Amino acid sequence: MTVTELVPADPLTGDLLAVLHARSFAEAWPPAAFRALLEIPGTLALVALAEGEPAGFVLARCVLDEAEIISLGVLPPRRRQGHAGALMAAVAERARATGVRSLFLEVEADNVAARDLYEGLGFVRVGQRRAYYSRPGAAAADALLLRLALAPLDGRATADDDGVDT
């Protein structure tokens, strides 16, 4: 199964993002949080549709030449079907079109499936936050900070393409 369509989300679809988030993660964010995030300039949000039904979402925020993936979720029955990769590729291209050069995200250190996805997309580890994710009834999990360098639209490399500030 592949993604049949990616559609932009806006503040009016904040409730849908909250439902998708709640079905994708143990700790759900309230609809008001999504609506507020979607009101912030520079926010990018996409919903993946499969067979006309929502399958997943990505929410990112762009500031100057950097962007952060705030949340990416795919419904459990739709996982491992290419939706997350399609969402990430689309948000990276849209961010790059606005001048973003680096895309950041954090992932639970023990989330092997997500780490494999991000590494396959070219993300590299740039940091770690110890005991960042709380888990009810279990020890907190570390967060790994990952970065993807985005080539400029003109294809010219710059000094910071290797992730090293000059």
What are the catalytic residues? Answer: 106, 118
Q: Which amino acid is residue 138, in one-letter code?
A: A
Angle, helices 31-39/14-24, rounded to nearest 10 degrees: 130
Number of neighbours of residue 49 by Cβ within 10 angstroms = 15
What are the tokens at 144? 């790994």
39 in Cβ contact with 79 (< 8 Å): no
Q: What is the DSSP letter of 160?
A: G
Strand partners, 104: 68, 147
What SS3 state is found at 96? helix
Report how far residue 122's alpha carbon sits from residue 114's, in angstroms, rounded to the nearest whole number. 13
